[in-house]
């Protein structure tokens, strides 16, 4: 059974720092990996999706990498801003379906 | 704005009550999902509907009863819930739900925060 882990559960940093968020998974047979953002009182917003054949994806200040062999993904946030404060979730699709397996998330606080 | 709305946003109910959660998507999608997000646990998939047909039931207790009258609306009927059912219930939609999948982005609603007393 696929398990997705995100450590640490929470992170507090000053504004301007470059950040690396970690996600690990136990079964490397994945179709894709997504990073989501969840703001308080709101649903999830998809940030980046990496197909299993890809190594990374970039969107603005965000860069996500995928290493299937080691069962790891990282989300890099450049020059963090207070508006980046949210919970970030990693999710995996596998088994040839659209079913997502989520990590517990990491709560990020960027202090001005 | 994600195009997926959920009502109510907050709900408090007793264990003997019957209530319903509503989800509506304005994206023209054909697949809709219910997820449960409990404190300190990963988001869990509950049900999937594809073209109004239920395709996934993730061993959800029968006190949760989904209904999908059309591709734009999804309900979750609740009855005789337990305090451990208190959670954030999220609805999502995607273009389709397919077994050849992994290509579809799911769009989430803001959720209904449920408290069972």
The burial class, CB within 10 Å (0-12 / 13-18 / 19+), for B1 is: exposed
For the four alpha carbons of A79, A80, A83 and A86, in that order, the dihedral sign comes to positive
Selected residue of A30, A36, A43 to mutate for chain B interface (largest B Cβ count, 10 A): A43
Report which of B103, B98, B10 is spatially closest to residue B48, judged by C-alpha positions. Answer: B98
pLDDT tens digits for A77-94? Answer: 999 999 999 999 999 987
Has residue B1 got a pLDDT over 80? no
CA–CA dist A14, A44 (Å, integer): 24
Partner A contacted by B47 (CB < 8 A): no
Tokens describing residue A89: 């979730």
CA–CA dist A95, A67 (Å, integer): 18
Has residue A62 got a pLDDT over 80? yes
Report which of A70, A1, A62, A69 is spatially closest to residue A34, judged by C-alpha positions. Answer: A62
Report which of A33, A43, A7 is spatially closest to residue A102, judged by C-alpha positions. Answer: A33
pLDDT tens digits for B35-49? Answer: 999 987 899 999 999
Q: What is the percentage of chain B residues whose pLDDT exceeds 70?
A: 94
Minimum-distance CB partner of A98 among B4, B97, B111 = B97
- DSSP annotation of A84 reads G
Q: Greater confidence, A29 or B21?
A: B21
Has residue A95 got a pLDDT over 70? no
Kindly state the average pLDDT of the residues A58-66.
Answer: 96
pLDDT tens digits for B51-104? Answer: 999 988 889 999 999 999 999 999 999 999 999 999 999 999 998 777 665 567
């Amino acid at each position: 059974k696929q398990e997705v882990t995100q450590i640490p559960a929470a992170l507090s940093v000053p504004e301007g720092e470059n950040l690396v968020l970690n996600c690990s998974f136990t079964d490397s047979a994945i179709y894709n990996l997504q990073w989501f953002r969840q703001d308080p009182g709101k649903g999830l917003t998809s940030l980046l999706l990496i197909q299993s054949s890809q190594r990374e994806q970039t969107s603005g200040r965000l860069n996500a990498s995928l290493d299937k062999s080691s069962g790891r993904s990282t989300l890099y946030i450049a020059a963090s801003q207070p508006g980046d404060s949210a919970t970030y979730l990693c999710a995996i699709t596998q088994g040839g379906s659209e079913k997502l397996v989520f990590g517990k998330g990491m709560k990020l606080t960027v202090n001005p | 704005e994600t195009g997926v709305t959920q009502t109510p946003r907050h709900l408090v109910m007793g264990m003997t009550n019957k209530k319903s959660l509503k989800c509506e998507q304005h994206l023209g999608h054909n697949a809709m999902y219910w997820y449960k997000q409990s404190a300190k646990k990963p988001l869990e998939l509950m049900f999937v509907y594809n073209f109004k047909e239920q395709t996934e039931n993730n061993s959800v207790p029968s006190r949760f009863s989904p209904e999908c009258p059309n591709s734009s609306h999804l309900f979750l009927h609740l009855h005789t819930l337990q305090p451990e059912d208190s959670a954030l219930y999220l609805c999502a939609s995607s273009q389709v739900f397919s077994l050849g999948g992994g290509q579809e982005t799911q769009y989430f609603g803001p959720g209904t925060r449920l408290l069972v007393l």
